[in-house]
Homo-oligomer: A and B are copies of this chain.
Amino acid sequence: MLGRVNHIAIAVPDLAAATASYRDILGAHVSQAQPLPEHGVTVVFVELENTKVELLEPLGAESPITAFLAKNPTGGMHHICYEVVDILAARDQLSAAGARVLGSGEPKIGAHGKPVLFLHPKDFFGTLIELEQV
């Protein structure tokens, strides 16, 4: 089911400082900051050779990463996104195996304009997993 690692998401309290750190200290190629108000985050893409890291900063009062940053004020790894070919087939297979899909269970359009689902971290040893249909 799992294809490529699409991205590793890291929540940070200060996106400008984190971007400067990845660009100037770690020597990585970073994108411009992109506000995604419908997802409650501003994102910077760190482009690596084989995948990417996404630095996320909360945007707005309803940001999905606010609670995470309250628990982890300096920031931290938030989720891993894997690509799947057919997200509805993946969802049905996961549900049949007893894994919990977050929210309504219906895919939403994610930050890249493609259907995504999130799986309950307690079903996967503390790791929040995003599936993205590509």
Contact indicator B26/A75 (Cβ below 8 Å): no
Q: Does A88 contact B (CB under 8 A)?
A: no
Bound CA span A18–B124, Å: 7
Chain A interface (Cβ < 8 Å from any Cβ of B)? 1-5, 8, 10, 12-14, 17-18, 21, 24-28, 48-51, 53, 55, 72, 74-77, 80, 82, 93-94, 97-99, 121-127, 129
Q: Determine how many copies of this chain the complex contains.
A: 2
Contact indicator A50/B5 (Cβ below 8 Å): yes
Bound CA span A13–B77, Å: 18
Contact indicator B125/A4 (Cβ below 8 Å): no
10 tightest CB-CB pairs across the interface, nearest first? Answer: A1-B27, A75-B125, A76-B126, A75-B126, A77-B77, A74-B126, A12-B125, A50-B50, A25-B97, A4-B49
Cβ 8 A contact of A28, one of B2, B25, B98 = B2
Bound CA span A124–B8, Å: 15
